[in-house]
Amino acid sequence: MTALRERAIVSLRSAPSLPRHVRIQYDPVRRAFAVLSPEKVFWPNEISLDILRRCDGQSTVERIIADLVADYDADRQDVADDVIAFLQEWSDKLLVKL
């Protein structure tokens, strides 16, 4: 019998991190950063990469959002919606720990 894992839900207090099996690596041939996990490679855009780099297990989602709002001079609600949706999707794929 296989046990189902409980879905982690992103909150503003979550402190996301990359699991041990996930890493960010620069590919000099493509001149782009890749996110590597077992048997999978993802090519995140600049903003996705910026979010992932802030997933250090110390910064909360609220802090990540505030930093991105300041860096990109963007609307807080738009950034919050995008960051939470992105982190939830990556958490569901086991690429980010909450």
pLDDT tens, position by position, 27-38: 999 999 999 999
Residue 60's closest CA among 87, 34, 85?
A: 87
Q: Is residue 31 part of a domain?
A: yes
Q: Is residue 17 part of a domain?
A: no
Whether the predicted pLDDT of 1 surpasses 80: no
Residue 12 contacts residue 63 (beta carbons within 8 Å): no
Domain residue limits at 47 = 23-92
Whether the predicted pLDDT of 3 surpasses 70: no
Q: Is residue 38 part of a domain?
A: yes
How high is the pLDDT of residue 96? 97
Distance from the Cα of residue 53 to its chain's centroid: 8
Number of structural domains found in the chain = 1
Q: What is the CATH number of the domain that holds 35?
A: 1.10.10.1150
Q: Is residue 47 part of a domain?
A: yes
How high is the pLDDT of residue 6? 87
Tokens standing for 37? 């996990």
Q: Is residue 12 part of a domain?
A: no
Q: Is residue 4 part of a domain?
A: no
Q: Is residue 1 part of a domain?
A: no
What is the mean pLDDT of the segment spanning 27-56?
Answer: 97
